[in-house]
Amino acid sequence: MNTSTSVRLSPAVREGDVDRSAPSVGAETFGGCCGNEERLKWTSSEPPPSVRPSVATTRRAPRCCPLLTMWSACVVLALASAALGSAQSESHRPRHDSNLEIYKRLFETKRKDQLNALKNLVELNDINQQYKIIDIMLKGLFKVLEDSRQILVAANMQPDDPFPMDDKIKEAYSHVVENTAFFGDVALRFPRIVHHYYDRNADWGGLLRWGLNFCNQTGVFTGGAHQHVLTLMSQELGITEKSPDFTNPYRTERDDVLHTAEAFQKILREEEKRRRKEEKRKEIRKGPRISRSRTEL
Instruction: From first to last of the 297 residues of the chain, give the pLDDT tens digit.
Output: 444 444 444 444 444 444 444 444 443 333 344 444 444 444 444 554 544 544 444 455 455 555 445 555 554 455 545 444 444 444 455 557 899 999 999 999 999 999 999 999 988 877 788 888 998 999 999 999 999 999 999 999 999 999 999 999 999 999 999 999 999 999 999 998 899 889 989 999 999 999 999 999 999 998 777 999 999 999 999 999 999 999 988 876 556 555 555 656 666 677 677 777 877 777 776 655 555 555 544
Record the pTM.
Answer: 0.59
Q: Are 169 and 151 in contact (CB under 8 A)?
A: yes
- In the chain, where are the structural domains located? 98-279
pLDDT at 198: 92
pLDDT at 79: 53
pLDDT at 60: 52
pLDDT at 130: 86
Q: Are 41 and 59 in contact (CB under 8 A)?
A: no
pLDDT at 10: 44
